Each structure stands twice: as structure tokens, then as C-alpha cells.
């Protein structure tokens, strides 16, 4: 019997069969070639997500924070966010990405990918180019120290802010990022749920912010002199940018254009809506009027809280996290801050620290299929305990490391401007510029 591919055999006698087989080979060949490269849909979505997350810092966070400070300090906040974007990008290129995502120890990554050594446009991470993973995760590294800026706004030296932020990135963010998301990371291997950064971003930034505002000390006149936001229009605009950008933050963390990304976006939006209305409702009941600031801050709290859970929970989980975080973050940013007297200028700890902690713990049970999550046969008790211990452990490490960094920076170049500089405002004192007309 002739071999089926022999032209003198069967296919020569049956030209239609030969043509059909050839067509199948031709159709299948591109599919095999495509399998060998990045998946175009996934790559396109993460490209968009990368832009969205960077948009969260510049201009989203910059405008959100800039509107909340007094007029004489608005430019300083914008300057800090823009500078950190540029400086952290270079650190991430030099060694940050490698220490976070390269295989190494359970606590920190290796150095085989410094300056993206060995990474080309053809190098893959799953279904996307690895250089895109580098860029996407870079935007997370940028926004995390930038969040802390809000805690010591209006009083820290620019040089001290920059030194603290870069040291904090290296000593806090990179180890925690590797432990949770990096290859062989300690917490990731234990099975901790942190889909998009409740621990990596919000708990670290929130706790670092709390320590920073305590060590730096309160603004002059805090508690005695009213310090109203100078431009709520700017703050609400920044809130809207952060809200939309968070779809890339959480949805992009699926690293694929699939149903998981879609559900993460849905849960994210639901949580933000529920938390914003919860915060606004509490204020409305207590003070008789709803405020734009309450609605905006509550929405950010809901976004922070749903971040660790977004890829594991369903719509019900997003709703419950939003309501819970809206109430608890409100209490942390008002009653608790007043009771302990620390000047967390823009409520970074109350919103991000508390929100991230709440969402991390709640993910331990809301991820279960019983509550509409995607984790089948989840052992809820052990998972909640694991989430709680991981969040507490990272918070403790962050607090200690942040305190040491602040003491080192304070002992060398000092932490805050003098009284005259603070009264004049950081725009003129530190930059000889102003974000307003005289």
C-alpha cells in the first residue's frame, strides 16, 4: 500500500482529498506559529492596563492629592508624584524588576535580570512578552511610594522625600513584592491571596505612611488651624481618573484578556460604588449633608480594599467588601485619627492601610464558591488565618523598616523644612515656583 503522502499513491488518485489535506496543513501552520509567540489579545489588554495604571499616578493621584492640600503646597505634591515616576522607573530598570521577579530566595529575587539582561521583545512570560510584564509591574512600583506622599504632605523636604521613597522601595516594596508575586516567594508559596496588591501595595503604603507621619510630626497648627482642601474640583477629577485606572490595576493583574479579568473589573467597580455611597451616607447622617470629599474618599477606600480579592471574588464579594471598607475606613480616617492625634495629612493609612487589610482578610472567605467566589473547596478557616497572619506580618515588617529608613534620612539630611519654610509653603520654599497666581 502506498504511503498517503506519496503523490503516486492515494492522494494522486484522489485530488480532492489531497487538496483538503493541504488546506488543513496550511490553516494549522499559522496556529502553531502563533502558539510559539505572544497571544495578541492578552498582549493588547496588558498594554492598555499598563497605560491605565501609570495614568493613576500621573495625573490621577497627583491631582487627587494636589486638590486636598493648601494652595501654597499644590505644586510640591505634583512635583513629588512626577519625580517619583521618573526615579522609580530607573531603579526598576537597574535592579528593581530583577529583585522582585527573578528567581532567588523566598525573601528576595536574584540579579540575573538587571537592566533587563536576557529580556528581549521575543522573551515570553506566559502569553505576553516579558518586557510588558516589566512595564506593567513598574507602574505598581511607581504608585506605591507615591501613595505615601499624602501622609507627610506640606512639611517634608523634597530631598528627604526622594531619599526615603527610594530606600523604602528597595527595602520594603521589593522584598514584599517578591514574597507575594515573585518566583518561589515565601507568601505566594504558602497560598496567600493577593490578586493585585492589597498586601504588596496598600498595606505597605498605608503602614509606611502611618510611621512616616508620626516620625515627621504634625503640620504647624494641626488641630488648631483649619486646613481645608484648596480645590475639590481637582480632587474629584483625580478620583475619577483613579477609579477608571483601577480597571487596569485589578483587571490587568489577570495578565490575560479573559473572564477572570472581566470579573475582577466588575467586582472592582461594585466595591468602589458601595464604599463611596457608604462613606457618604455615614457623613450625611452625622453632619446633615453629603460631601463630595466623602464620596470620593470612600470610593478610593473601596478600590483599595477590593484589590487583593478582585480576582477571586464575584459581584457579591465586591459589594460586601465595599460596604465594610467604606464604614471601617471612615472610622479609621476620622475617629481613630482624632483619638491618637497623628497627622496623616491625606488619610493614606485610614484609606489604603485599613482598606488593604480589610480586603486581604475578607478575601479569605469571600473567595469561596459559597459566597460567589471562584475557589472551589476552599478551607475558609485556615485561609482567613493565613490572610490575617500575612497581612499582619507584612505590616509589622513595613513599620520597622520604614522607621529605620526615616531615622537614617532624618539623621543625615533632616526630614522637614523649617517653620518659616512651612508657613511660606513648599512651592516657593523648595522649588521657587508657585502653582497659583500671586
Query: 141-163 pLDDT, tens per residue?
Result: 999 999 999 999 999 999 999 99
- Please determine, for residue 32, whether its predicted confidence score (pLDDT) is greater than 50: no
- The average pLDDT across 209-235 equals 94
- The average pLDDT across 246-250 equals 98
Model confidence pLDDT, tens digit, residues 272-304: 999 999 999 999 999 999 999 999 999 999 999
What's the CA gap between 164 and 87, in Å, rounded?
Answer: 12
Q: Which of 21-25, 233-237, 372-376, 405-409 has the lowest mean pLDDT?
A: 21-25
Query: How sure is the predictor about 436, in pLDDT bands with cuts at 50, 70 and 90?
Result: low
- CATH number for 299: 1.10.3430.10
- Please determine, for residue 183, whether its predicted confidence score (pLDDT) is greater than 70: yes
- Please determine, for residue 435, whether its predicted confidence score (pLDDT) is greater than 80: no
Q: Which cell numbers hold the place of 52?
A: 491605565
- Angle between helix 380-412 and 354-366 (nearest 10): 160
DSSP 301-351: HHHHHHTTTTTT--HHHHHHHHHHHHHHHHHIIIIIHHHHT---TT-HIII
Q: Which cell numbers hold the place of 135?
A: 512595564
Model confidence pLDDT, tens digit, residues 398-414: 999 999 999 999 999 99
Residue 434 has a pLDDT of 81
3-state percent helix, strand, coil for the chain, nearest multiple of 5: 75, 0, 25
Residue 33 has a pLDDT of 40
How many domains are contained in the chain? Answer: 1
Does 31 reside within a domain? Answer: no
Domain around 91: 40-431
Does 245 reside within a domain? Answer: yes
- Please determine, for residue 14, whether its predicted confidence score (pLDDT) is greater than 70: no
What's the CA gap between 101 and 137, in Å, rounded?
Answer: 10
Query: How sure is the predictor about 224, in pLDDT bands with cuts at 50, 70 and 90?
Result: confident
- The average pLDDT across 130-134 equals 97
Residue 36 has a pLDDT of 59
Does 25 reside within a domain? Answer: no
Model confidence pLDDT, tens digit, residues 102-118: 999 999 999 999 999 99
Maximum CA extent, the chain? 100
Does 306 reside within a domain? Answer: yes
Does 13 reside within a domain? Answer: no
Residue 438 has a pLDDT of 45
Amino acid at each position: 500500500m502506498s504511503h498517503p503522502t506519496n503523490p503516486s499513491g492515494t492522494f494522486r488518485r484522489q485530488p480532492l482529498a489531497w487538496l483538503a489535506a493541504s488546506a488543513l496543513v496550511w490553516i494549522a501552520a499559522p496556529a502553531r506559529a502563533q502558539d510559539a509567540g505572544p497571544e495578541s489579545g492578552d498582549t493588547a489588554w496588558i498594554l492598555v492596563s499598563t497605560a491605565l495604571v501609570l495614568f493613576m499616578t500621573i495625573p490621577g493621584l497627583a491631582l487627587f492629592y494636589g486638590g486636598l492640600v493648601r494652595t501654597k503646597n499644590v505644586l510640591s505634591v505634583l512635583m513629588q508624584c512626577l519625580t517619583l515616576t521618573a526615579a522609580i522607573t530607573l531603579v526598576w530598570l537597574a535592579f528593581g524588576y530583577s529583585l522582585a521577579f527573578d528567581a532567588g530566595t523566598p525573601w528576595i529575587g536574584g540579579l540575573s535580570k538587571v537592566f533587563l539582561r536576557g529580556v528581549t521583545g521575543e522573551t515570553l512570560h506566559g502569553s505576553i512578552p516579558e518586557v510588558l510584564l516589566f512595564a506593567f509591574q513598574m507602574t505598581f512600583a511607581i504608585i506605591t511610594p507615591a501613595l505615601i506622599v499624602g501622609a507627610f504632605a506640606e512639611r517634608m523636604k523634597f530631598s528627604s522625600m526622594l531619599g526615603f521613597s527610594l530606600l523604602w522601595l528597595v527595602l520594603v516594596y521589593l522584598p514584599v513584592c517578591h514574597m507575594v508575586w515573585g518566583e518561589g516567594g515565601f507568601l505566594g508559596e504558602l497560598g496567600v491571596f493577593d490578586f493585585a496588591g492589597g498586601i504588596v501595595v496598600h498595606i505597605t503604603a498605608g503602614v509606611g505612611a502611618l510611621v512616616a507621619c508620626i516620625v515627621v510630626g504634625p503640620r504647624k497648627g494641626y488641630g488648631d488651624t483649619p486646613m481645608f482642601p484648596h480645590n475639590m474640583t481637582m480632587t474629584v477629577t483625580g478620583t475619577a481618573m483613579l477609579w477608571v485606572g483601577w480597571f487596569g490595576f485589578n483587571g490587568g493583574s489577570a495578565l490575560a484578556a479573559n473572564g477572570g479579568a472581566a470579573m475582577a473589573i466588575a467586582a472592582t467597580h461594585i466595591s468602589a460604588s458601595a464604599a463611596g455611597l457608604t462613606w457618604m451616607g455615614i457623613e450625611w447622617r452625622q453632619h446633615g449633608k453629603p460631601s463630595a470629599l466623602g464620596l470620593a474618599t470612600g470610593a478610593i477606600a473601596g478600590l483599595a480594599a477590593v484589590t487583593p480579592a478582585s480576582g477571586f471574588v464575584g459581584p457579591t464579594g465586591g459589594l460586601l467588601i465595599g460596604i465594610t471598607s467604606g464604614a471601617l475606613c471612615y472610622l479609621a480616617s476620622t475617629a481613630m485619627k482624632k483619638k491618637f492625634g497623628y497627622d496623616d495629612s491625606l488619610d493614606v493609612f485610614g484609606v489604603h492601610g485599613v482598606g488593604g487589610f480589610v480586603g486581604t482578610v475578607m478575601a479569605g472567605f469571600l473567595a469561596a464558591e459559597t459566597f460567589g467566589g471562584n475557589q472551589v473547596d476552599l478551607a475558609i478557616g485556615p485561609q482567613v488565618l493565613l490572610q490575617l497572619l500575612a497581612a499582619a506580618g507584612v505590616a509589622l515588617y513595613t513599620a520597622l523598616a520604614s522607621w529605620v529608613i526615616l531615622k537614617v534620612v532624618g539623621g543625615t539630611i533632616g526630614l522637614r523644612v523649617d517653620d518659616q519654610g512651612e508657613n511660606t509653603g513648599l512651592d516657593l520654599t523648595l522649588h521657587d515656583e508657585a502653582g497659583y497666581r500671586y
